[in-house]
Structure 1
């Protein structure tokens, strides 16, 4: 936004009743939190690389592949 647009927006917000100004502030806070990534950054988990035994990884992959290849059509009705 340009400085002029920001100033116009500020004027519009200032002209609102105080309750609506609070709603604008709440909405801006919501927009700021929505744009932040959620969860744990991947690089913080690097120390776990290689900590799961390969036999367990194979079992996990087999379970995922088996379950993901099945569709419960009744559940989607």
Structure 2
């Protein structure tokens, strides 16, 4: 089945209540006005490999120590 995104959105809108259709419309308008921010990856390629391997290892260890722990009492 080769259905376009627009057609799929229209199909979903058809089964939604009108108040949700309005929310989709508002969201689509917001997205249409938004601008993509950031730096294209192509511009970042010259920096590839510029972090020394020792620093990368330190970062990896810090992430593993700090991010792989769950504090059940935190919430």
Alignment TM-score, normalising by the size of structure 1: 0.50
The structural deviation recorded for 1:75 is: 1.6
Residue 51 (structure 2) pairs with residue 58 (structure 1): no
- For 1:68, the equivalent position in structure 2 comes to 67
Give, in whole Å, the separation in 2 of the partners of 1:37 and 1:73: 37
| Unaligned runs of at least 5 residues, structure 1 | 2-23
In the comparison of the two structures, how many residue pairs are matched?
Answer: 50
Higher helix share: 1
- For 1:31, the equivalent position in structure 2 comes to 31
Dislocated runs of 4+, deviation >4 Å: none
Give, in whole Å, the separation in 1 of the partners of 2:38 and 2:44: 12
Q: Bigger radius of gyration, 1 or 2?
A: 1
Give, in whole Å, the separation in 2 of the partners of 1:50 and 1:74: 40
Q: Deviations over 1:26-48 (max 9, x none)?
A: x72x12145x5442222221011
SS in 2 for 1:64: helix
